[in-house]
Chain A
Amino acid sequence: MSGDVDPKPGFIRTYVFSTDHKMIAKQYLFLGIFYLLIAGLFAVQIRMQLAHPDAEAPLIGKALWPQTDGKMPPEFYNMLFTMHGSLMVFFAITPIVIGAFGNFVIPLQIGAKDMAFPILNMLSFWVMFIGGIVMAASFFVPHGAATAGWTAYASLSSSSEVTSPILGHGQTFWLLGIAFAGTSSLMGGINYIVTVLNFRCRGMKLLRMPLTTWGLFFTAILNVLWVPVVAAALFMVLVDRLFGTSFFMAGPLASVEGGQPLLYQHLFWGFGHPEVYILILPVWGLVGDLLSVFSRKPAFGYKATVYSMATIVILSQIVWGHHLFTSGMNPLLGHVFVFLTITISVPTSIFFLNWLATLWRGAIRLTEPMLYALGIVFVFCIGGLTGLFNALQALDIYVHDTYFVVGHFHYTLAASVLFGVFAGIHYWFPKMFGRNMNARMAKVHFCLTFIFLNCVFFSMMYVGAGGHMRRISDPTTYTFLKDFQVWNRFMGYSTLALAAAQLLFAWNFFHSLFFGKKAQQNPWQANTLEWSAPTPPPHGNFLSPPKVARGPYEFNSPLSGDRDWLMQDDPAATASDS
């Protein structure tokens, strides 16, 4: 258990099969950054193809497809968008936001020595690592990686008899890779829940936990509830493919009657909608933390924020039908799902109210993490409001499977969560690696990313309003999409610029890792327990077990004296409150 700390582990136990939550967090972080890079490069190729469907694919074209003068064949395009989505969701965002931040932050913020189950924790990383290897290997099997989209709708994904690329083993590898990622999330989820419930230090009541930990805790609950559902669905797809069953097969392709492709969509989105919140809840929590720290003001409506998160956890599980308005589902059910879905805006609007009210009368410090946090409020506002369009039945039928939807969920998942990734990395980097990142470079990176990301994602929604379908490799063959080619070019070049801006981040990250200025213990002057631990925290985290006396956001409290912050475990001011 977490009490057993080996004082001098060897190299392998320290850096490879480590059970220290902080080392596992770093492993997740590097894994996530690696796949973020790969999946990001796929996005560049996708946008370049749409910008110039008839031209040679840049860099890789001539080498891969000499017979077509470097023009990208549709099966490769299909593989690109399938793997872009799958890798981003399951192997980039999940390991960074949940794996790295969750592992690093939860034990430190609740004053624990480590996770409840350190060995399970180690396994959860290595299971995801194997999943990543399986996904990477799938590119090298005949016909290449999976081509059925990240949603892998049956019966396209479950059929082994449909056109050649799906015949290949890429789709089977994909199913296995996602199964590994899911298993990892499940192990992590159980670990996070048990840790939060049982390993809080003295005085750390549930309602004294920082919002980041709350977000990660709710994420863990959703993971434990819904990963098994998608795992079951993918298992049925797998046996349909490999052993000729017909869970999701109907019509002429089915070997026996009674299968139902629509069932897959219900199971997938039963998981898929909560998945959106699985990824965004930790980011919401982080925004709550950062806005408070850098406004030097207690987080407004802390409890209301926690209750809103809990409400969202419940609501997110009963709204999946808004993905199925065109599916052939009974329209009556559609009306119910419209109503259920719009109720989500009640807790969401409370987040915005609390964030704005936190800034109100605050002493704003525009540090790098704060810039990203403010960026999240901006892009998530667009993402959340455009979600409303998709909740409306008649309107969603028109925008369904168009770039409007793609733009919308890139605002929530790509823009908001990616800013969350940057905010979190810049915020905890000093604690994690004991060094500072370059602040000026980070601010330039923020500005460039903010501009180009909006150029890409807003244009997506614009062409989507014109009916531009997603997942087509050549929009120029459609008369009604002719006018949008100029927008597709614009998005292509903006994506290039967006990708180039990430070099700044990469340089800043890796350079600071080795040459950054040595960090102080509490560089942001925050109150939460991770800043009470030495920098970087040793195995076991705290020199002596912390004892918490107050909530996480006591800035400018009358008790804090000359300073404007008051650590949660500060013994100087003994009066206990909240």
Chain B
Amino acid sequence: MPYPTRASADAHLIDDLFNLAIISTSIAFLIVLAMLTYFVIVGIRRSRGHYTHGTSKQAYIFTALFAIVVFIGLDVNLAYFDQKAYGVVFSRVPEPKNNLVVQVFAKQFEWNFRYAGTDEKFGTDDDIMTVNQLVVPTKTDVILKMQSLDVVHCLFLPSLRMKQDVLPGMTVSLIFQANLTTKAEKERRNDPEWVFEIACAEFCGLNHSDMKGKFLILEKDEYTTWEEEQSIAAADFVAPEVWEHWMDGNSEEKSE
């Protein structure tokens, strides 16, 4: 199947679930198709249909049994694996000593990311701001705290099989851990231009199609270097006024 490259240890659970759903529904579909074709081909040559009257008790029992088999065999079975996958992929509890908080400001039509910087405090001079570029260290729990400054957007990380709407007026979070660096994947593909990507999945207006960015996954030490460099460079960065609305209520927030 044409799934995008996986960049986390959990993402395969979604692909497995997808494959399982494809296989089980294909079986159901082929059974229907086979019966349909057979009954039609055999029936074309018949001159008179078989008469039945009303619905017999056996027919009711058979119908009920059939519905139960479909419900348990197909639906409940898939829902079980679904809920199991959901529990792993979307209910991640961040490790206390090994995490990174990134604030996400979505606005038409760009993704803004704010990092606490080396002092690990938001709202200070060394905060790092990036536009359309999410930089994270590998094998670290990343906690995205997201807000929209205008309409509803949706952060889509295809390589993690994750997606979360970003709404104005409330903060939603998304927690993940990446395990494949951009560099490693570039080497594997032998394509220096190649990147992981982020996209906006919820239609948000005029240039929605362009609301995208790069998703850079670095080795831990590379990330530390990047953070230090950026923190120094960020000293004279002034946050746009429109961000203050959000920053006011949350400037106390620390990176745990």
* Chain A positions near chain B (C-beta within 8 angstroms): 74-75, 77-78, 147-149, 153-156, 159, 162-166, 249-254, 257, 259-262, 295-298, 300-304, 326-328, 331, 334-335, 338-339, 342-343, 345-347, 349-350, 352-354, 356, 359-364, 366, 374, 377-378, 381-382, 385-386, 388-389, 391-395, 397-398, 400-402, 462-463, 465-467, 469-474, 477-480, 483-484, 555-558, 564, 577-578
Q: Who on chain A is nearest to B51 by CB?
A: A556
Which residues of A lie under 8 Å from residue B28 when comparing CB positions?
381, 385
Given A478-B197, A556-B49, CB of A149 within 8 Å of CB of B209: no
Q: Is the CB of A328 within 8 A of B164?
A: yes
- B36 within 8 Å of A (CB atoms): yes
Chain B 141-162 interface mask (CB, 8 Å, partner A; 1/0): 0000001111110101011011
Other CB < 8 Å A-B pairs besides A162-B151, A395-B21, 15 of them? A164-B206, A251-B148, A298-B52, A328-B164, A331-B91, A335-B83, A353-B63, A364-B46, A385-B28, A397-B162, A401-B202, A463-B2, A466-B4, A484-B2, A564-B48
Question: How distant is B16 from chain A, measured CB to nearest CB, in Å?
Answer: 10
Question: How distant is A79 from chain B, measured CB to nearest CB, in Å?
Answer: 11
Q: Is the CB of B49 within 8 A of A356?
A: no
Interface hit among B92-100, B123-131, B165-173: B165-173
> How far, in angstroms, from A166 to B208 measured CA to CA in the complex?
13
Main SS of the interface on chain B?
A: mixed
A261 in complex: contacting residue of B33, B51, B167, B245, CB < 8 Å: B167
Question: How distant is B211 from chain A, measured CB to nearest CB, in Å?
Answer: 9
Q: Is the CB of B54 within 8 A of A394?
A: no
Question: How distant is A87 from chain B, measured CB to nearest CB, in Å?
Answer: 17
Which residues of A lie under 8 Å from residue B201 when comparing CB positions?
326, 400-402, 469
A-B CB contact pairs (8 Å), 19 listed: A74-B206, A155-B150, A259-B169, A261-B152, A297-B50, A303-B55, A338-B79, A345-B74, A359-B39, A360-B39, A362-B50, A377-B32, A381-B28, A385-B25, A394-B14, A394-B89, A472-B208, A557-B53, A558-B51
Interface hit among B64-72, B111-119, B219-227, B231-239: B64-72
Q: Is the CB of B150 within 8 A of A253?
A: yes
Question: How distant is A380 from chain B, measured CB to nearest CB, in Å?
Answer: 10
Question: How distant is B134 from chain A, measured CB to nearest CB, in Å?
Answer: 15
Which residues of A lie under 8 Å from residue B78 when comparing CB positions?
342, 388, 392
Q: Who on chain A is nearest to B44 by CB?
A: A364
Question: How distant is B144 from chain A, measured CB to nearest CB, in Å?
Answer: 13
Which residues of B lie under 8 Å from residue A301 when comparing CB positions?
55, 59, 63
* Chain B positions near chain A (C-beta within 8 angstroms): 1-5, 13-14, 17-18, 21, 25, 28-29, 32-33, 35-36, 39-40, 43-44, 46-55, 59-60, 63, 66-67, 70-71, 74-76, 78-79, 82-83, 85-86, 89-91, 108, 147-152, 154, 156, 158-159, 161-165, 167-170, 172, 193-197, 199, 201-210, 212, 242, 245-246
Which residues of B lie under 8 Å from residue A300 when comparing CB positions?
52, 55, 59
Which residues of A lie under 8 Å from residue B151 when comparing CB positions?
153, 155-156, 159, 162, 253, 261
Q: Is the CB of A252 within 8 A of B70?
A: no
Q: Who on chain A is nearest to B201 by CB?
A: A401
Q: Is the CB of A392 within 8 A of B82?
A: yes
Q: Is the CB of A388 within 8 A of B75?
A: yes
Given A162-B151, A469-B156, CB of A148 within 8 Å of CB of B203: yes
Question: How distant is A207 from chain B, measured CB to nearest CB, in Å?
Answer: 10
Q: Is the CB of B47 within 8 A of A363?
A: yes
Q: Is the CB of A162 within 8 A of B48?
A: no
Which residues of A lie under 8 Å from residue B46 when comparing CB positions?
361-364
Q: Is the CB of B168 within 8 A of A359?
A: no
Which residues of A lie under 8 Å from residue B196 when comparing CB positions?
480
3 closest residue pairs by CB, A with B:
A250-B169, A251-B168, A364-B43
Given A251-B168, A300-B59, A362-B39, CB of A398 within 8 Å of CB of B86: no
Q: Is the CB of B207 within 8 A of A74?
A: yes
> How far, in angstroms, from A325 to B52 measured CA to CA in the complex?
46
Which residues of B lie under 8 Å from residue A557 when comparing CB positions?
51, 53
Which residues of A lie under 8 Å from residue B43 when comparing CB positions?
295, 359, 361-364
Which residues of A lie under 8 Å from residue B49 when comparing CB positions?
295-297, 361-363, 555-556, 564
Q: Is the CB of B51 within 8 A of A159?
A: no
Question: How distant is A266 from chain B, measured CB to nearest CB, in Å?
Answer: 13
Which residues of B lie under 8 Å from residue A558 when comparing CB positions?
51
Q: Who on chain B is nearest to A264 by CB?
A: B152
> How far, in angstroms, from A480 to B191 measured CA to CA in the complex?
13
Question: How distant is B125 from chain A, measured CB to nearest CB, in Å?
Answer: 24
Q: Is the CB of B82 within 8 A of A338?
A: yes
> How far, in angstroms, from A49 to B54 measured CA to CA in the complex?
54
Which residues of A lie under 8 Å from residue B207 when comparing CB positions?
74, 163
Question: How distant is A67 from chain B, measured CB to nearest CB, in Å?
Answer: 17
Q: Is the CB of B85 within 8 A of A394?
A: yes
Given A253-B168, A465-B18, CB of A556 within 8 Å of CB of B39: no
Question: How distant is B208 from chain A, measured CB to nearest CB, in Å?
Answer: 7
Which residues of A lie under 8 Å from residue B90 when comparing CB positions?
331, 393-394, 397
Q: Is the CB of A378 within 8 A of B36?
A: yes
Given A401-B154, A462-B2, CB of A343 within 8 Å of CB of B44: no
Q: Who on chain A is nearest to B169 by CB?
A: A250
> How far, in angstroms, from A163 to B1 measured CA to CA in the complex?
38
Q: Is the CB of B169 within 8 A of A392?
A: no
Which residues of B lie under 8 Å from residue A159 when comparing CB positions?
150-151
Question: How distant is A167 from chain B, measured CB to nearest CB, in Å?
Answer: 10
Q: Is the CB of B40 within 8 A of A374?
A: yes
Q: Is the CB of A364 within 8 A of B39?
A: yes
Q: Is the CB of B82 within 8 A of A156?
A: no
Which residues of B lie under 8 Å from residue A327 when comparing CB positions?
165, 167
Question: How distant is A573 from chain B, measured CB to nearest CB, in Å?
Answer: 13
> How far, in angstroms, from A39 to B66 measured CA to CA in the complex?
40
Q: Who on chain B is nearest to A469 by CB?
A: B201
> How far, in angstroms, from A385 to B70 measured CA to CA in the complex?
11
Question: How distant is A56 from chain B, measured CB to nearest CB, in Å?
Answer: 18
Which residues of B lie under 8 Å from residue A469 when comparing CB positions?
156, 199, 201
> How far, in angstroms, from A354 to B150 measured CA to CA in the complex?
50
Which residues of A lie under 8 Å from residue B47 when comparing CB positions?
363
Given A326-B165, A465-B3, A478-B197, CB of A339 within 8 Å of CB of B79: yes
Which residues of B lie under 8 Å from residue A361 when comparing CB positions?
43, 46, 49-50
Given A164-B206, A362-B46, A386-B25, CB of A297 within 8 Å of CB of B52: yes
Question: How distant is B74 from chain A, measured CB to nearest CB, in Å?
Answer: 7
Question: How distant is A171 from chain B, measured CB to nearest CB, in Å?
Answer: 11
Which residues of B lie under 8 Å from residue A257 when comparing CB positions?
169
Q: Is the CB of A392 within 8 A of B150?
A: no
Which residues of A lie under 8 Å from residue B86 when comparing CB positions?
331, 334, 393-394
